[in-house]
Amino acid sequence: MNLLFDRLFTSNQGSKTFLSFLDKKKPLTYDKFLQEIKCMASRLKTLGLKRGDRLVLQIAKSHHVFTIYGACVQLGIIFIPLNTNYTAVEVEYFIKDSECKSFITTTKMLKNLASQDKKVSCKIETIDADYTGSFFSGFDENEPLEIIEKQNEDDIAAILYTSGTTGRSKGAMLSQKNLLSNALTLSESWGFTASDVLLHALPIYHTHGLFVATNIALASGSQIRFLKKFDEDDIIANLPYSTVMMGVPTFYTRLLANRKFNKEITKNMRLFISGSAPLLKETHEKFQYLTGHKILERYGMTETNMITSNPYNGERKAGTVGLALEDVKVRVVALESEKEVSKNGGIGVVEVRGPNVFKGYWKQSGKTKSEFRDDGYFITGDMGFLDKDSYLTIVGRNKDLIITGGLNVYPKEIETVIDTDSKVEESAVIGVSHPDFGEGIVAIIVEKKGHNIDHKVLHATLQKNLATFKLPKKIHIIKELPRNTMGKVQKNVLRDMYEDEFTKNNK
């Protein structure tokens, strides 16, 4: 038995549409999707791939990512999708680290590897647009492969490389059970049925757009309206024909800034979901006022898929990421004592245990061991607290914690105060080296378009709401905050930008 393939890809939806596209391309039914997966499996066989081999994929967003993913599951091949923005230098690292047998990429990347004299030992095939590229050479001659490799629930289905904000990226090994359990739990938690139409504008090299969105749709028999990227006009045009949208905060702020976006357009929608980065309280309120919909915010990470979610039926608390999923356990542990803190405000490291939690880091047993407690809890590295109702709030990464004058400061607390200023679009607070305090607090702010922040008013607000040791020692106004492709603010980049803020005169 192949647990994941049997439950997700062998559907009884038949001629019902699975994927519909913006262009005039014919929709892909569930039957046709399965047939194409089996043709892909046949092609992978001709490349010499077999159970346990690694396949690295880096191509533009297309339904081929889904069918190659399905073919890998069918054959027991470990699927490794890569961010399409990775350079030849980065790609070379992933290929070598994964020890992959095949790399499927674009002609452009193939040329980049050659021009930079990057030598890789695996086979390389190309996929460019639709059915072009060497991978599809003789593709029509491939008969659908009916063989389905037996897989155990603990067998590795995929490796996702972390963003690598500190040191080299690590490969998180996700098992069949990890992926399937999360898909089934979320499908039920969020009320998905075969009548749903999921508007998909996320990238699909990331757990959010690939494993969460796609696996839920397959598990529930839903349709996916497939957009190659986020485009406000395309989103607005497709919302009336959709019932669910998964997005990142940037999606919602850009929609709110678009004059065409209104309540009428969202009247057929039953659910808007946000994740991958915190959603401002102001965005929550504006969205609900304009559309009548309250965005459902959830929390997850590469190593765990989804961990918590605000309830579909029940109170959705703005600023929190909700309750632990049904089969997941969450606790908050103090940094110093490593003991569980009391609920209702005690800040500590978020730890999680459940069938969604990955098996470990590829070829890094030492790192894996250090990231797990003896009782099986995974140390996420995120700082947060549970309120009296067990709703989780994330206040930042452990590495983002600022220790100034020996006192702990959580950036989120300062950012929340700064963001109350009506002229502030968003903010990020960091700590950088300081000769007297160990770390000095720096606030980086983006102003709303057409507005200028009154620094005296902002300082007065900060002094009124924060203890003196939490006050930023420097404030900078910039045009935009650096973000990764999933919309997360890259505080490591900001720390690099302002690392000499308090020390440059002492050098």
Cβ atoms within 10 Å, residue 262: 12
Distances (CA, A) of 236 to 27, 231, 258, 259, 289: 20, 9, 9, 10, 17
Query: Do 117 and 197 fall into the same domain?
Result: no
What is the distance between the alpha carbons of residues 148 and 150, in angstroms, rounded to a whole number?
6
What is the distance between the alpha carbons of residues 369 and 350, in angstroms, rounded to a whole number?
17
What is the distance between the alpha carbons of residues 241 and 259, in angstroms, rounded to a whole number?
19
Query: In the structure encoding, which two tokens stand for residue 324, read together?
Result: 């632990």
Domain boundary among 245, 274, 294: 294
pLDDT in the model for residue 136: 93
Query: In the structure encoding, which two tokens stand for residue 237, read together?
Result: 């045009």
Q: Is 499 part of any domain?
A: yes
Residues of the chain with pLDDT under 70: 163-167, 406, 505-507
Q: Is 211 part of any domain?
A: yes
Q: pLDDT by residue (tens digit) across 303-339?
A: 999 999 999 999 999 989 999 999 999 999 998 778 8
Helix axes 249-256, 281-291, angle to 10 degrees: 50
Domain boundary among 122, 151, 180: 151
Q: What is the CATH number of the domain that holds 453?
A: 3.30.300.30
Query: Do 289 and 212 fall into the same domain?
Result: yes
Give 274's strand partners: 247, 297
Q: Is 143 part of any domain?
A: yes
Rg (CA), the chain: 23
Q: Is 424 part of any domain?
A: yes
**Phi, psi (degrees; rounded to nearest 5) at 490:** -90, 85
Q: How many distinct helices (H) and strands (E) make up the chain?
A: 14, 25
What is the distance between the alpha carbons of residues 353 and 307, in angstroms, rounded to a whole number?
9
Q: Is 394 part of any domain?
A: no
pLDDT in the model for residue 165: 45
Q: Which amino acid is at 371?
A: E
Q: What is the DSSP letter of 468?
A: G
pLDDT in the model for residue 167: 56
pLDDT in the model for residue 166: 47
Q: What is the DSSP letter of 243?
A: S
What is the distance between the alpha carbons of residues 294 and 267, in angstroms, rounded to a whole number?
13
Query: Do 22 and 124 fall into the same domain?
Result: yes
Give 433's strand partners: 439
Q: Is 324 part of any domain?
A: no
Query: Do 129 and 23 fall into the same domain?
Result: yes
Distances (CA, A) of 258 to 262, 377, 424: 9, 43, 19
Supply the range of the domain harboring residue 90. 3-151
**Residue partners of 268: CB distance under 8 A and separation at least 6:** 239, 240, 241, 242, 243
Query: Do 13 and 128 fall into the same domain?
Result: yes
Cβ 114 vs Cβ 89: under 8 Å: no
Cβ 278 vs Cβ 411: under 8 Å: no
Q: What is the CATH number of the domain that holds 285?
A: 3.40.50.980
Q: pLDDT by residue (tens digit) across 242-285?
A: 999 999 888 998 999 999 999 999 999 999 999 887 788 888 99
pLDDT in the model for residue 409: 83
Q: Is 172 part of any domain?
A: no
Cβ 258 vs Cβ 248: under 8 Å: no
Domain count, the chain: 3
Give 29's strand partners: 17
pTM here is 0.86
Query: Do 59 and 143 fall into the same domain?
Result: yes
Cβ 78 vs Cβ 156: under 8 Å: yes
Cβ atoms within 10 Å, residue 357: 27
Q: Is 35 part of any domain?
A: yes
Query: Do 470 and 420 fall into the same domain?
Result: yes
Coil, strand or helix at 166: coil
Cβ 34 vs Cβ 22: under 8 Å: no
Q: Which strand (E) or helix (H) includes residue 338?
A: none
Q: pLDDT by residue (tens digit) across 195-234?
A: 999 999 999 998 999 999 999 999 999 999 999 999 999 9
Query: Do 59 and 116 fall into the same domain?
Result: yes
Query: Do 146 and 8 fall into the same domain?
Result: yes
CA end-to-end span of the chain: 64
Q: What is the DSSP letter of 183?
A: H
Coil, strand or helix at 459: helix
Q: Which strand (E) or helix (H) includes residue 218?
A: helix 213-220
Buried b or exposed e, range 32-70, using 16+ CB within 10 angstroms:
ebbebbbbbbbbbbebebeeebbbbbbbebbbbbbbbbb
Give 236's strand partners: none
**Residue partners of 98: CB distance under 8 A and separation at least 6:** 54, 56, 80, 159, 171, 362
Query: Do 109 and 7 fall into the same domain?
Result: yes
Domain boundary among 265, 294, 323: 294
Query: Do 112 and 199 fall into the same domain?
Result: no
Query: Do 40 and 143 fall into the same domain?
Result: yes
Q: What is the DSSP letter of 202?
A: S
What is the distance between the alpha carbons of residues 171 and 161, in angstroms, rounded to a whole number?
4
